[in-house]
């Protein structure tokens, strides 16, 4: 059974808070970049990237967009 927040140690609580803040920050960076970047510089549909980044947590899709979903201005 899952523990309640009050049952977690201070260290575990801090790690969870750091993970949530990092995930939110990565999502904000990815979505801001996606909004500002022209569609020709995005690999795939912008709406799909936005939906996946918003729905998925853990930062993996945000990182995937930032690493693989963007094209440089020179290659567009």
Is 3 a domain residue?
A: no
Is 40 a domain residue?
A: yes
pLDDT tier at 43, thresholds 50, 70, 90:
very high
Is 67 a domain residue?
A: yes
The Cα–Cα gap between 17 and 19 comes to: 5
Let me know: does 69 contact 44? Beta carbons within 8 Å. Answer: yes
Q: Tell me what pLDDT residue 34 has.
A: 96
Is 2 a domain residue?
A: no
- What's the whole-number average pLDDT of the chain? 91
**CB atoms closer than 10 angstroms to residue 69:** 23
Backbone φ/ψ region at 29: left (φ over 0), alpha (ψ -120 to 50), beta: alpha
In the chain, % of residues over pLDDT 70: 96
Which residues pair with residue 42 across a beta bridge? 70
pTM of this structure: 0.82
Of 7-11, 14-18, 38-42, 58-62, give the lowest mean pLDDT range: 58-62
Is 24 a domain residue?
A: yes
Q: Determine the average pLDDT of the residues in 28-49.
A: 96
Range of the domain at 59: 10-75
Let me know: does 30 contact 55? Beta carbons within 8 Å. Answer: no
């Amino acid at each position: 059974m899952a523990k309640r927040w009050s049952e977690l140690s201070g260290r575990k609580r801090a790690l969870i808070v750091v993970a949530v803040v990092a995930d939110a920050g990565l999502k904000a960076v990815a979505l801001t970049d996606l909004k500002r970047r022209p569609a020709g510089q995005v690999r795939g549909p912008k709406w799909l990237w936005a939906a996946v980044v918003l729905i998925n947590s853990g930062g993996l899709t945000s990182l995937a967009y930032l690493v693989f979903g963007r094209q440089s201005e020179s290659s567009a």
